[in-house]
Chains A and B, each alone.
Chain A
Amino acid sequence: MIIPAHAAFVAETATLLAASEALAADPTPATLAAAQQAWQAAYVAWQPLPLSRTEAIRRTQLMSAINKYPTNPRFIEGHIASDAPLTAQQVNSFGATSRGLPALAYLLFTPSSADALAALRADARRGQYVVAAAADLHLTAVALHAFWAAEGQNYRATFIASDGAGSQLRSGVSELVNAQINALEVLVQQRLGKPLGRQAGGTPQPDQVEMAGTGVALAAQRATIHAVQELLAGGLGAYLTAHASPNPALAERLQAQLERTQAALAAIPEPLEQALSTQPDAVATAYAESRTLLMLYKVELANVLGVTVTFGDTDGD
């Protein structure tokens, strides 16, 4: 599932690059809408990838270049206002907060589609930045795919070989479970908890919705859960079932909770920013279901597998 997901993301970024070029060549409502849709598709396609963010992937810093949130508008505007050529190579040299999906979201969606279009029409360098950022994103996606693929650096082989190598911290299963727990923690705390105002005294915070204004938050969250479901169905569940443990029904309970979480997210009407005030109970339900799901992964799954829930490497006894 991991490598096909990376390939799918590469394909979506290629589509986004083509749409960006069309937009830069002729900024119209139609080309902007096409670029926005391509961005949304790329963002949704991105969601499975953090579930395989192992330590080796982290060290490449490719994922940070793709989705380092939040972006820094001041830096981006500075680059556009400068005289430097705006190419993929140039954007590649920028900091992560001026690149990747968040930077493109800033250029394509904010503060509104009409404003974004007006800005693109007013300054051709803005369109060049969109194209350069999209090209850089695509090249980064290709590099990330190549890192895994057999025809590239073949990290796949290393990853498989690391399973059960005698060190809990480095085993493939351990890293995969940790990455899923991390993604679910982000879902609970950042993607749902923060907009709900759970850390702000209970006052909803629409501006804290991920990629606010793009209308993609819920689709992305469902994509994350879907990817977790696929990992469970694609081997982890069978591994658990074959694993004689005092928690024999865990695979079924994980599956059921994933379905409940997915259903709760699907019950929230788009966009999330609006649902926070119109359907707060639906959002709160999704949050509660996500928390239960996180608990199952972080506590029960990790315990059954003997996985160390941290990337730290301290001693134990």
Chain B
Amino acid sequence: MINIPRIEAHLTRPVSILPLVVLRVVLGVVLSLSMLRFVWHGWVAAQYGMPSMHFTYPGFGWVVPLPTPLLTSLYLLLAVLGLCIASGLAYRLSMGMFCLLFTYTELLDSTYYLNHYYFISLFTFLLLWLPLHGSAALDVRRRPPLARATVPVWMLWAVQGQLAIVYIFAGIAKLNPDWLLHALPLRIWLHEQLGVPVLGFWLGQVWVAYAMSWGGMLFDLTIPFWLWWRRTRPLAYLAVVGFHALTGALFPIGMFPLLMIGSTLVFFTARDYASVGHWLHRALPLRGAAGAISASPAPLPPRALGRLGRGLLVAGFLAVQLVIPLRHWFYAGDVLWNEAGFRFSWRVMLVEKTGSAMFTVVDPHSGQQWQVYPNDQLTPQQAKQMAFQPDLIHTFALHLARQWHARGYPAVHVYADVWVSLNGRPAHRLVDPTVDLARQPRRLAAPPWVLPGPAAAQRGPRANLHRAIYAETGVSAVIPTSATICCTHCSMRVLVKLGAVVSSNAKPTKCSPSTASDA
């Protein structure tokens, strides 16, 4: 039988607030720098001011960008809020506003989605509910009753759990054949680094790519546990610093390394800090915080949500995150190819994908056709991201249909000619070019008009047929609709379904009952 009081006592056991205070200070500074950097690079105008359309998220079409000067001001306000968070000034308001305003900027356009931006939204939302301003904060100076030396341990675990979710799901995402068996895409990326002083020679070695692939996977899957365990914590944190510093140096991943290096400091306990030395006590005005492990928690100030409600909110918040990254299990197809369930699932630096998309708008009444190149209407970043993400391709097709409707062509058909290369492989068609995308419904799962990718063609139920065709022809085309092919091996006529990979001038060399039944 579950002993609720015992569990509650365990979860509410007081621990020093110091790790959370350190996190608040470091995170606030990193967030502030991150926002200033965004403005400094001129990305506000480039990402939100220049585009003629935005790829908003389903249900968030009403979220529109402010004029560029106002949006720039908003980013500067975010930078100020970051400093407020760091200093503990109006903490709840600062953290809440930061979460809200930053999430607003992320909702403006899904082509700018980054896992670490998503992390910032989640993390700031979580921290909003925790009293990180209970010590070494300007809030405490203004309102001394807010001061507290300890917090219930569940608060610390919630924050650590949020970080563990990021790492562990990033590790789970790496459990795929390309990453582990072919060292892809690291093999491609590292080959680009041959000119790096000293390291360049090693980065060009294939075995290094394998070692880094497996090492990265093991790091992600296990690092939270090494950080939790006190005996391995210092070494684990050094590994965190080394790992993120290396990836930050090799790849253009912005503030992500700094964000994680800073955030994982929360795994260090007050005891760890105390053992480091007394300098920290002098540097930070943490009255009694570091040594107050056994002290009882200060009474929580009254809140709209009670303690239980807040605990349940945080637990539910984290529980949902255990499901979201795995939602692609319920969708058909390869998530790396069709990207159904790709976002919000910590697939960090996981694939090398490039695409090329061209759209054809057809007016059925006049027979007129227009070919539309996305780079005529989109920014380079939007066009690049859209070219390999089916939901964005669909969004752009719908946008074109609306454009032509406004021009006096109310019922145009929109077709997409999209080719994508995944992890260095020859390009495959991503979208059935015969499907009128203007008349397709939006859906969360991979739509039927997304053609199977190279991996599916190699290991899917039609594997025999596909392997035969690969062997015979080396892959030359993807047929957009069903076709009947006569097998040269057994003369059986095989219906090849939508999107199968086939050569226009060759027939499969062998067949099998499984192939026929599949057809």
Say if the beta carbon of B182 comes within 8 Å of chain A: yes
Say if the beta carbon of A201 comes within 8 Å of chain B: yes
> Apart from A171-B195, A303-B423, what 4 extra A-B contacts exist at CB < 8 Å?
A166-B249, A201-B366, A245-B187, A247-B421
Q: 1/0 per residue B339-373: CB within 8 Å of A?
A: 00000000011001111101000010011111111
B354, A302: Cβ atoms closer than 8 Å: yes
Provide the bound-state CA to CA distance between A250 and B112, in Å: 30
Say if the beta carbon of A295 comes within 8 Å of chain B: yes
Provide the bound-state CA to CA distance between A179 and B103, in Å: 36
Q: 1/0 per residue B394-437: CB within 8 Å of A?
A: 00000000000000000000000001111111110000000000
Partner of A246, one of B46, B193, B194, B423: B423
Q: 1/0 per residue B428-461: CB within 8 Å of A?
A: 0000000000000000000000000000000000
Say if the beta carbon of A112 comes within 8 Å of chain B: no
Contacting chain A: which of B92-100, B277-285, B375-383, B507-515?
B375-383
State which size class the interface on B falls in. Answer: 35 or more
Say if the beta carbon of B188 comes within 8 Å of chain A: yes
Contacting chain B: which of A3-11, A124-132, A214-222, A306-314?
A306-314
Decide yes or no: A244 and B187 within 8 Å by CB, A310-B380, A312-B380, A315-B256 being known contacts. Answer: yes
A244, B419: Cβ atoms closer than 8 Å: no
Within 8 A of A (CB), among B241-268: 249-256
A164, B426: Cβ atoms closer than 8 Å: no
Contacting chain B: which of A84-92, A94-102, A192-200?
A192-200
Q: Within 8 Å CB of B375, what residues of A?
A: 185
A317, B370: Cβ atoms closer than 8 Å: no
Provide the bound-state CA to CA distance between A243 and B1, in Å: 62
Q: Within 8 Å CB of A302, what residues of B?
A: 354, 421
Q: Within 8 Å CB of A303, what residues of B?
A: 188, 352-354, 421-425, 427
CB of A199, distance to nearest CB on chain B (Å): 6
Partner of B182, one of A246, A300, A310: A246
Say if the beta carbon of B47 comes within 8 Å of chain A: yes
Decide yes or no: A316 and B191 within 8 Å by CB, A164-B196, A302-B354 being known contacts. Answer: no
Q: Within 8 Å CB of B195, what residues of A?
A: 163-166, 171
Say if the beta carbon of B215 comes within 8 Å of chain A: no
Within 8 A of A (CB), among B182-233: 182, 184-185, 187-189, 191-196, 200, 206
By CB atoms of chain B within 10 A, which of A185, A202, A250 has the most? A202
Decide yes or no: A299 and B420 within 8 Å by CB, A164-B200, A304-B188 being known contacts. Answer: yes
- Size of the A side of the interface (Cβ < 8 Å), in residues, is 49
- Specify the chain A residue showing the minimal Cβ separation from B185: A306
B249, A244: Cβ atoms closer than 8 Å: no
CB of A82, distance to nearest CB on chain B (Å): 37
CB of A293, distance to nearest CB on chain B (Å): 11
CB of A26, distance to nearest CB on chain B (Å): 46
Provide the bound-state CA to CA distance between A299 and B249, in Å: 26
Q: 1/0 per residue A201-216: CB within 8 Å of B?
A: 1100000000000000
Provide the bound-state CA to CA distance between A264 and B366, in Å: 30
Q: Within 8 Å CB of B253, what residues of A?
A: 315-317
6 smallest CB-CB distances across A and B, nearest first, come from A164-B195, A315-B254, A310-B380, A303-B421, A201-B368, A198-B371
Provide the bound-state CA to CA distance between A298 and B256, in Å: 28
Q: Within 8 Å CB of A294, what residues of B?
A: 356
- Specify the chain B residue showing the minimal Cβ separation from A315: B254
- Specify the chain B residue showing the minimal Cβ separation from A291: B358
A299, B372: Cβ atoms closer than 8 Å: no
Provide the bound-state CA to CA distance between A309 and B374, in Å: 14
Provide the bound-state CA to CA distance between A309 and B357, in Å: 13
- Specify the chain A residue showing the minimal Cβ separation from B255: A315
A166, B196: Cβ atoms closer than 8 Å: yes
Say if the beta carbon of A168 comes within 8 Å of chain B: yes
- Chain A binding surface SS class: loop
Partner of B116, one of A165, A169, A317: A317
A contact set with B: CB distance below 8 Å: 163-169, 171, 173-174, 185, 189, 193, 198-202, 243-247, 249-250, 253, 291, 294-296, 298-300, 302-317
A306, B189: Cβ atoms closer than 8 Å: yes
Provide the bound-state CA to CA distance between A90 and B309, in Å: 76
CB of A314, distance to nearest CB on chain B (Å): 6
Decide yes or no: A296 and B427 within 8 Å by CB, A166-B193, A168-B252, A305-B192 being known contacts. Answer: yes
Decide yes or no: A314 and B115 within 8 Å by CB, A198-B370, A246-B424 being known contacts. Answer: no
CB of A249, distance to nearest CB on chain B (Å): 7
Say if the beta carbon of B384 comes within 8 Å of chain A: yes
Within 8 A of A (CB), among B108-147: 112, 114-116
CB of A254, distance to nearest CB on chain B (Å): 12
Q: Within 8 Å CB of A296, what residues of B?
A: 427
- Specify the chain A residue showing the minimal Cβ separation from B417: A291
Provide the bound-state CA to CA distance between A189 and B376, in Å: 10
Q: Within 8 Å CB of B60, what residues of A?
A: none
Say if the beta carbon of B329 comes within 8 Å of chain A: no
Q: Within 8 Å CB of A171, what residues of B?
A: 192, 195
A317, B114: Cβ atoms closer than 8 Å: yes
Provide the bound-state CA to CA distance between A297 and B47, in Å: 26
A167, B191: Cβ atoms closer than 8 Å: no
Provide the bound-state CA to CA distance between A189 and B191, in Å: 32
Provide the bound-state CA to CA distance between A43 and B373, in Å: 27
Q: Within 8 Å CB of A311, what residues of B?
A: 380
Say if the beta carbon of B58 comes within 8 Å of chain A: no
Q: Within 8 Å CB of A201, what residues of B?
A: 363, 366, 368-370
A317, B349: Cβ atoms closer than 8 Å: yes
- Name 28 interchain pairs, CB-CB below 8 A, sorted by A: A164-B194, A164-B195, A166-B193, A168-B251, A171-B192, A189-B373, A198-B369, A199-B370, A199-B372, A201-B363, A202-B370, A300-B421, A300-B427, A302-B354, A302-B421, A305-B192, A308-B384, A309-B384, A310-B384, A312-B46, A313-B252, A314-B381, A315-B114, A316-B254, A316-B349, A317-B115, A317-B116, A317-B349
A200, B370: Cβ atoms closer than 8 Å: yes
Partner of B256, one of A299, A312, A317: A317
Partner of A312, one of B353, B363, B379: B379
B368, A299: Cβ atoms closer than 8 Å: no
Provide the bound-state CA to CA distance between A199 and B377, in Å: 13
Q: Within 8 Å CB of B384, what residues of A?
A: 308-310
Q: 1/0 per residue B162-198: CB within 8 Å of A?
A: 0000000000000000000010110111011111100
Say if the beta carbon of B303 comes within 8 Å of chain A: no
Provide the bound-state CA to CA distance between A211 and B346, in Å: 50
Q: Within 8 Å CB of A247, what residues of B?
A: 421, 424-426
Q: 1/0 per residue B9-46: CB within 8 Å of A?
A: 00000000000000000000000000000000101001
Say if the beta carbon of B61 comes within 8 Å of chain A: no
Say if the beta carbon of B474 comes within 8 Å of chain A: yes
